[in-house]
Amino acid sequence: MPAVLLAGHEWRTAQDRYDWDCRRREDSHLIFQYTVSGCGELEVGGQWVSLPAGTAFLIEVPGPFHYRLPAMSAHWELQFVSLSQACLPWWVHIVTGLGRTIELTPEHDLVQQLQNLSSMSQQGKVDAFANSARAYAFLMGLYRHLHALPSASHLPLPVQKALACIERDAHCPIGLDDIALAAGVSKFHLIRLFRQHVGDSPTRRLTKERISSAARMLVETTLTVEQIAEQCGFQSGNYFAKAFRKWMNTSPSEFRRESGIRGVNRLEIT
């Protein structure tokens, strides 16, 4: 039967040498791990993905994954649950729909389930049936999250147009007025639609797109910070540096130095 193998809440620092190469592990299980504070990183397909607070990952062990506390992060506070291989039939569908990383607020039901599983694990052993029920409940929580996500094709047309504008023109000096013009609605109406259907604001989404592009360019090019700022649509190098530190909790130069030559294929930004 599906089962919860282990659940917990941990705080890791550089002294712990927290580093797991899943290709070398012999134990077989599934891992869902959520960043409460600090930052970790996950290697997927040879590329490293940042795991800031509010980000969770889903992987299989053994598998082509590697997760660790990066040198640029002072700590990694995390909650996790390890599930048995019997959960795999449901897990495959969930990962196919959600991807390897997802963003969750601290108030999300899945985060609350993680906390409950961690507390229950400290209360001693439970029978196999109760354990299996907990595993099923967590899997169904993941399914519920998957089916609650908005599909781009079902979003209101103005929101679809706005998202397309952000993706296409984020490198240009555009703002809320330009996005609203592309969407064909007033900026106030667009903000309401975004909050209702995307759970974000147009300007926040625009900044995410720019920061993500800038992070990749910092790692994969030798352009200066000023040049990257200009190519990613920021007003100036100083403004870019402030925005980057706010979102990534590090400066562009520090991020480039710590990331080395690993590359950034997909970046999750909360």
Inside any domain, residue 35: yes
List, as one string, the DSSP characters of 31-46. Answer: EEEEEEEEEEEEEETT
Same domain as 136, residue 189: no
Q: Measure the N-to-C terminal CA separation of the chain; round to a whole number of Å.
A: 35
- Of 94, 129, 148, the position where a domain reaches its end is 148
Do 124 and 182 share a domain, yes or no? no
In this structure, what DSSP letter does residue 150 have? P
Alpha helices in the chain (DSSP H): 88-98, 109-121, 128-148, 157-169, 176-183, 187-197, 202-220, 225-231, 237-248, 252-259
Same domain for 143 and 173? no
CB atoms within 10 A of CB 19: 11
Residue ending a domain, among 148, 182, 215, is: 148
Shared-domain flag, residues 127 and 192: no
Report the greatest alpha carbon distance in the chain: 61
Judge if 42 and 119 occupy the same domain: yes
71 is in which domain, residue-wise?
A: 4-148
Joined tokens for residue 237: 């190098």
For residue 267, tell me if it sits in a domain.
Answer: no
- pTM of the predicted model over 0.85: no
Per the structure, the count of domains in the chain is 2
CATH number of the domain residue 213 falls in: 1.10.10.60
Same domain, 125 and 173: no
pLDDT values of the chain reduced to their tens digit, one per residue, 270 residues: 889 999 999 999 988 889 999 988 888 999 999 999 999 999 987 788 899 999 999 999 998 899 999 988 999 999 999 999 989 888 887 887 777 888 899 999 999 999 999 888 777 667 888 899 999 999 999 988 887 766 555 678 888 888 889 988 999 989 999 999 888 888 898 898 888 877 788 998 899 889 888 888 888 888 999 999 999 999 888 999 999 888 877 889 888 887 654 444 444 454
Residue 265 within any structural domain of the chain:
no
